[in-house]
Amino acid sequence: MLNRQGRPSSAGEAGTNAHPTFTGNKALAQIEPLLFEIGRHDTTGVDFDEPEEFQPRLGGLERKEPIGLPGLSEPETMRHYVRLSQQNYGIDTGLFPLGSCTMKHNARLNERMARLPGFSDVHPLQPVSTVQGALELMNELGRYLVTLTNMTAVALSPKAGAHGELCGMMAIKAAIEAKGEGATRNVVLVPDSAHGTNPATAALIGFKVKAVPAREDGSVHVEDVKKLLGPDVAAIMLTNPNTCGLFEPQVAEIAKAIHDAGAYFYCDGANFNAIVGKAKPGDLGVDAMHINLHKTFSTPHGGGGPGSGPVVLSARLAPFAPVPFVRAGKDGGFELVEQESDAAEKPFGRMTAFHGQMGMYVRAMSYMLSHGADGMKQASEDAVLNANYIRAGLSDLLSLPFGNKPCMHEVLFDDAWLKDTGVTTLDVAKAMIDEGYHPMTMYFPLVVHGAMLIEPTESESKSSLDLFIATLRDLAMSAKNGDKERFTGAPYHAPRRRLDETRAARSPILKWTPPEPVAEAAE
């Protein structure tokens, strides 16, 4: 196999194993032990002086036993975590086409703004008079989100997407109870293609989940919804654009049918990035939708959080928004409503301590100010254009479960093209790792066999997409030509070979434990 420069790209027989090193390191690829294997109990990387003698007031509940926490000096700490970081793939490393996750560029301006002392170094319970700028930012963020969605109100406090779903469904439940229908409306419709958090959220607060089948074209049909509607239906949870990468063509009709039946339309906003500035969910009949600031508005994913999941609400649900929220005060300042009793409306309760993810609000605001209305529209168009460009570049070799038609910001392939190759979606993903890419989302949505969901985002250049398409074409040809080894053994070049997940689950090792002391040999 030759790489783009025509040099052999794999070392083959004369590869890495032929030149073992004393340390096990391979130049820049360093093996890093666990903290507990290199740390020492008498070491600290923080200089503080012991306090003067004093009489403790702990009521005799002082800790007597050691905790078991090793420490490292500052240079050792730096090296430990830098080496760990080098075993990670991030957006800044390369193309990260993880479908439904919107791994777009994380501008460092946003990091700098979030660290301004007036945002990062203020306490949630300081006097409101000393945090007027923070409340102004929250108010402004809310205004932007409401404007982009054409909704009535926003609950900023949910801490992540699933938490936002919970908030939206709680608002729906509160509205239903306010109408006296709490005992009878207890069913939530969830399409098969929905993300697993949707049914989990509905079930968490006592709703019964009924599945809506997906049609062969990947969309939800209003007739299928109507068949399930009745006085027992509280809501539908519909992702739009959906997880197949398609805009639900009948969304307006579905919304109308839902409303006619006295139910509510919860929209999962995970894929909002496709339509920001192009269409407003409020115009489509949505009653509640969470917005993943960490997807659409580029707050960093951070290896799995922190996220932020504000929920926009229609006029029907706005009165039930949880505390806290910001409102304009009499003197031109801002007030923070923290208690249900202080609200003119009927808040359903509280989602979290304090006021939500301020650090994420600032980053999202910085993103929105930078893009502006024109830039956000352009970003959505580019995201959709990029996904369709990949579709066009691969449609002859890979298989599209719903036919070769335009997609939104992500393109969904299935594994029909791998038939009889002995290669699976998982194998393709691992081979992509060797090629220097983060794999796409695999095996989701569940309605498609061996799903591969590719979301390039607007952050990719045309040349980056061209190389990605060429790589996938090369992989596809390779699979079809029977070069199984390239896939089933992959990854060959990552910091680890394929990891044994079954073993991890069978007898879980969830923390480090000291090795058993070696018994002394008998004399």
Scanning residues 4 to 63, which ones bind another protein (CB under 8 A)? 32, 34-36, 39-46, 48, 50-52, 54-59, 61-63
In the complex with another protein, which residue's Cβ is closer, 90 or 262?
90
Stretch that binds another protein, among 1-9, 115-123, 227-235, 476-484 (CB under 8 A): 115-123
- Which residue from 152, 213, 277, 335 is in contact with another protein, where contact means CB under 8 A? 277
Element (H, E) at 138: helix 132-149
Query: Does 329 help bind another protein (rule: CB under 8 A)?
Result: no
Q: Which of 205, 416, 470, 477 binds another protein (CB under 8 A)?
A: 205
Distances (CA, A) of 64 to 61, 67, 122: 9, 9, 35
Q: Are 193 and 218 in contact (CB under 8 A)?
A: yes
* Rounded CA separation 413/473 (Å): 13
Over the window 133 to 162, marking each residue x when it contacts another protein by CB under 8 A and - when it does not, the resulting string is xx-xx------x--xx----------xxxx
According to CB under 8 A, which residues from 417 to 476 bind another protein? 429-430, 433, 438-439, 444, 458-462, 464
CA–CA distances in Å: residue 159 to residues 57, 70, 93, 101, 139: 36, 32, 27, 16, 17
Q: How many Å separate Cα 59 from the centre of its chain?
A: 45
Give the shortest CB-6-to-another protein separation in angstroms.
Answer: 26
Question: CA-CA distance, 44 to 493, in Å (whole number)?
Answer: 36
Degrees to nearest 5, angle at CA 490 with 488 and 494: 165
Q: Is 327 in the site for another protein (CB under 8 A)?
A: no
Site residues for another protein, 234-263, by CB under 8 A, read 246-249, 251-252
Q: Are 427 and 259 in contact (CB under 8 A)?
A: no
Q: Which is nearer to another protein, 11 or 481 (CB)?
A: 11
> Rounded to whole angstroms, how far apart are CA atoms 308 and 291?
8
Nearer to another protein, 5 or 463 (CB): 463
Q: Is 173 in the site for another protein (CB under 8 A)?
A: yes
User: Under rule CB under 8 A, which residues in 297-326 are in contact with another protein?
Assistant: 300-308, 322
Residue among 119, 149, 122, 115 nearest 137 (CA) = 119
Q: Which positions ≥6 away from 347 have C-beta within 8 Å? A: 320, 321, 322, 323, 340
Burial class (CB in 10 A: 0-12, 13-18, 19+), 216: exposed
Nearer to another protein, 5 or 129 (CB): 129
Of 354-383, binders to another protein (CB under 8 A) are 354-360, 362, 365-366, 368-379, 381-382
Q: Give the C-alpha separation, 339 to 349, whole Å.
A: 9
Closer by beta carbon to another protein, 77 or else 520: 77
Of 181, 338, 345, 483, the one binding another protein by CB under 8 A: 338
Alpha helices in 339-424 (DSSP H): 358-394
Which residues, in sequence order, are bridge partners of residue 208? 187
CA angle 144, 150, 155 (to 5 degrees): 60
| Shortest Å, Cβ 481 to another protein | 24
- Our CB check for another protein shows the closer of 81 and 481 to be 81
How many chain residues interact with another protein (CB under 8 A)? 204
**Which one of the spans 225-233, 344-352, 478-486, 515-523 is the region binding another protein (CB under 8 A)?**
344-352
Q: Minimal distance in Å, beta carbon 120 to another protein?
A: 5
**Residue 122 Cβ, how far from another protein at the closest point, in Å?**
5
Should residue 384 be labelled a site residue for another protein when binding is judged by CB under 8 A?
Answer: yes
**Which residue lies nearer to another protein by CB, 301 or 478?**
301
Helix (H) or strand (E) holding 454: strand 452-454
Based on the shown chain and the rule CB under 8 A, indicate whether residue 218 belongs to the binding site for another protein. no
